[in-house]
């Protein structure tokens, strides 16, 4: 067991997420690094399984769904009644020329029209309200799940692809889960109403018309299967293109500096062509399906007119009855067409559901709420112990860390070195509970961190990542990101300690100056000092520094050396670095290689090259 004793160091000084209701069927896919991740297998769902997966997000508004559907059914009933009155007016008013018989049916027709218009407007608004609430709820649930994924779990998806799933795919899923039930109910009931009215008017003509219904249903099933495959290809290509564009735009300075614009244009063009082909396939299917339905409807209408002429000649049907039947038919066929389109649309939307389920099946990190063990009541000192800790990414043959034993007293500065891929960042990720050890346990002040809520662990461990991540907000907002309740004096004190106050004060609006997207308005050294101020303000007893001087020139690195010392003072600090100037300041140097850890004393300052 490598036990580190504290050495003399002049720098020493005293110092809730809702449960996701969506439970996709099938096992979770463990997260793993992008480099080791195989190409994701698509989730396969039937339209019914996809509907059941996301229906819980609508079930809270079931009353609104039902009321909107009933209102739209009332509107269809009013239309059917109005058509019947049109036939009556033809036979009782127009044919005999009796104006006196006009007023009563006309008034009733107007009343039905007003009632139908009000019901249609109210039902449409209520259905839209339900759909928009579903979109909001699904996007919130999906984003909450993404927030629970460890960093390398997010690497399974490109940033652009995730944005595509959170926007386009969510909207497509809404058509299946929130809109489809209302449309299905109203179209089915409307079809039954107009079919019953047609049967009542002329059962002989109605039977001729109904013969086309199986053909419409069969066509919808065939086109639905084809459309599902085409939509899946289009949504996947859309996600890949979005990721490619996001990456290329983010790296545009490098692309320009290396003269690789043409190569990047070619990549975007190739992926754009894939997206275009997938979109054209969808267009071809839609372009064929619609006209085929219209052709079938035309054949049916011509058949009805021919048969209706025979019915009139045989005195089985009046002219008004034929006109009414034709009107019923004009309303019935669109309802049948809508039912067929729902089948096609459900197959298409299922592809988007599968893409969202792939995200939801990615295994999240530890539960934020934890197992219910009470948090430490006293102050956390920062003693960190690794007891026989091992870790291997799921699906990997060899462990990244193997039987790591480490006992770090509070306030020690521990430098972590080793070649790339040796497990340095994994060691930090275990401490922050981005991952759980495959074996052994990690203790904070003698308490297993696996028994604590994740938020409680991370409240006592501050991460300063290699990239100085800033948000598109003001300097003040970025410094107070880890402590939103900090007052102006505390923010200013952190900036002073991080050697950032002078340049912040010189900005146009001081601490209220926007830093730009990802801190684009600041230099690399300024961004690093803002990140240092953010870490200083948090005052956690354990600190993880990931290559804090990487990417900085000597002058900028020298400017952050003092703030780094103040940041580490009195805290248990794990410093991941290749910089010998930093390892020379450490109390203990850990070297990782082939999954094992060896500890040595820090090199002498004079051996660090100045």
Beta bridge partners of 390: 439
Summarised one tens digit per residue, pLDDT across range 52-67 is 888 887 767 778 878 8
Confidence of residue 21 (pLDDT cuts 50, 70, 90): very low
How far is CA 441 from each of CA 253, 384, 387, 405, 436, rounded to the nearest angstrom? 44, 11, 5, 10, 9
HSE of 388 in the Cβ direction (CA atoms, 13 Å)? 2
Which one, of 119, 293, 144, lies nearest residue 222 by Cα? 293
- For the ranges 467-476, 486-495, 542-551, 567-576, the maximum mean pLDDT occurs at 486-495
For 316-332, b/e burial (b = at least 16 CB within 10 A) is ebbebbbbbbbbbbebb
Per-residue model confidence (pLDDT) at position 18: 38
Confidence of residue 3 (pLDDT cuts 50, 70, 90): very low
User: 17-26, 251-260, 439-448: which range is least confident on average?
Assistant: 17-26
**pTM to 2 decimals?**
0.64
Angle at 505 between CA 502 and CA 509, to 5 degrees: 155
User: 5-14, 174-183, 280-289, 329-338: which range is least confident on average?
Assistant: 5-14
Per-residue model confidence (pLDDT) at position 469: 81
Residues 454, 483 contacting (CB under 8 angstroms): no
Residues 239, 278 contacting (CB under 8 angstroms): no
Per-residue model confidence (pLDDT) at position 84: 72
Is the model more confident about 213 or about 125? Answer: 125
Domains in the chain, start-ordered, CATH in brackets? 47-360 (1.20.1560.10), 384-608 (3.40.50.300)
User: 338-352, 577-591, 596-610: which range is least confident on average?
Assistant: 596-610
Rg (C-alpha) for the chain, rounded Å, is 34
* Dihedral angle sign, alpha carbons of residues 60, 65, 66, 67: positive
Percent of the chain, pLDDT > 90? 1
Does 1 score more than 70 pLDDT? no
Summarised one tens digit per residue, pLDDT across range 471-520 is 888 899 989 888 888 898 989 988 888 888 888 999 898 999 888 877 88
**338: buried, middle or exposed (CB in 10 Å: 19+, 13-18, 0-12)?**
middle
Mean pLDDT of 348-366: 79
Does 98 score more than 80 pLDDT? no
Per-residue model confidence (pLDDT) at position 334: 74
Kindly report the average pLDDT of the chain as a whole number. 75
Summarised one tens digit per residue, pLDDT across range 264-309 is 888 888 888 888 888 888 777 777 766 776 676 667 667 766 776 7
Is the model more confident about 544 or about 88? Answer: 544
**274: buried, middle or exposed (CB in 10 Å: 19+, 13-18, 0-12)?**
middle
Does 216 score more than 80 pLDDT? no
Summarised one tens digit per residue, pLDDT across range 369-386 is 445 455 555 677 888 999
Per-residue model confidence (pLDDT) at position 294: 67
Is the model more confident about 384 or about 310? Answer: 384
Is the model more confident about 524 or about 115? Answer: 115
In 3-state terms, what secondary structure has residue 556?
helix
């Amino acid at each position: 067991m490598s036990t580190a004793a504290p050495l003399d160091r002049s720098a020493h000084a005293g110092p809730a997420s809702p449960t996701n209701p969506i439970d996709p069927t099938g096992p979770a896919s463990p997260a793993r690094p992008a480099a080791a991740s195989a190409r994701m297998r698509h989730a396969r769902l039937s339209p019914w399984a996809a509907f059941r997966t996301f229906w819980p997000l609508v079930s809270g508004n079931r009353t609104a769904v039902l009321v909107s559907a009933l209102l739209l059914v009332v509107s269809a009933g009013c239309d059917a009644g109005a058509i019947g009155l049109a036939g009556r007016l033809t036979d009782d008013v127009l044919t005999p020329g009796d104006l006196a018989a006009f007023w009563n049916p006309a008034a009733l027709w107007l009343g039905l029209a007003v009632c139908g218009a009000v019901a249609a407007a109210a039902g449409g608004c209520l259905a839209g309200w339900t759909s928009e609430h579903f979109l909001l709820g699904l996007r919130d649930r999906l984003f909450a799940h993404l927030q629970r994924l460890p960093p390398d779990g997010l690497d399974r998806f490109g940033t652009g692809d995730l944005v595509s799933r959170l926007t386009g795919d969510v909207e497509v899923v809404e058509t299946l889960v929130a809109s489809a039930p209302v449309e299905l109910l109203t179209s089915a009931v409307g079809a039954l109403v107009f079919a019953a009215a047609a049967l009542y008017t002329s059962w002989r003509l109605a039977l001729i018309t109904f013969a086309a219904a199986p053909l419409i249903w069969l066509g919808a099933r065939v086109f639905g299967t084809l459309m599902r495959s085409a939509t899946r290809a289009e949504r996947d290509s859309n996600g890949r293109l979005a990721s490619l564009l996001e990456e290329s735009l983010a790296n545009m300075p490098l692309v320009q500096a290396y003269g690789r614009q043409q190569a990047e244009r070619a990549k975007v063009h190739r992926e754009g062509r894939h997206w275009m082909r997938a979109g054209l396939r969808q267009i071809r299917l839609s372009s064929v399906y619609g006209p085929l339905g219209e052709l079938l409807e035309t054949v049916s209408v011509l058949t009805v007119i021919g048969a209706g002429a025979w019915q009139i000649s045989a005195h089985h049907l009046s002219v008004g009855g034929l006109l009414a039947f034709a009107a019923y038919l004009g309303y019935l066929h669109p309802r049948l067409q809508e039912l067929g389109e729902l089948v096609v649309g459900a197959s298409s939307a299922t592809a988007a559901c599968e893409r969202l389920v792939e995200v939801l099946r990615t295994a999240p990190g530890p539960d934020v709420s934890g197992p219910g063990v009470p948090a430490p009541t006293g102050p956390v000192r920062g003693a960190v112990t690794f007891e026989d800790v091992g870790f291997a990414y799921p699906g990997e043959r060899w462990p990244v860390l193997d039987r790591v034993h480490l006992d770090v007293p509070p306030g020690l500065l521990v430098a972590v070195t080793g070649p790339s891929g040796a497990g340095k960042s994994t060691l930090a990720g275990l401490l922050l509970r981005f991952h759980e050890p495959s074996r052994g346990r990690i203790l904070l002040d003698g308490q297993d961190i696996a028994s604590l809520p994740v938020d409680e662990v991370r409240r006592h461990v501050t991460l300063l990542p290699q990239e100085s991540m800033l948000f598109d907000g003001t300097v003040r907002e970025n410094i107070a990101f880890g402590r939103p309740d900090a007052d102006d004096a505390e923010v200013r004190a952190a900036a002073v300690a991080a050697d950032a106050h002078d340049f912040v004060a010189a900005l146009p609006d001081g601490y209220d100056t926007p830093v730009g997207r990802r801190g684009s308005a600041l230099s690399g050294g300024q961004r690093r000092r803002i990140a240092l101020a953010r870490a200083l303000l948090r005052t956690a007893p354990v600190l993880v520094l990931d290559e804090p001087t990487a990417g900085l020139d000597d002058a900028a690195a020298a400017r952050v050396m003092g703030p780094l010392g103040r940041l580490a003072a009195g805290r248990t600090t794990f410093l991941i670095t290749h910089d010998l100037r930093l390892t020379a300041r450490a109390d203990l140097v850990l070297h990782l290689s082939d999954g094992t850890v060896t500890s040595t004393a820090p090199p002498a300052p004079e051996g660090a090259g100045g």
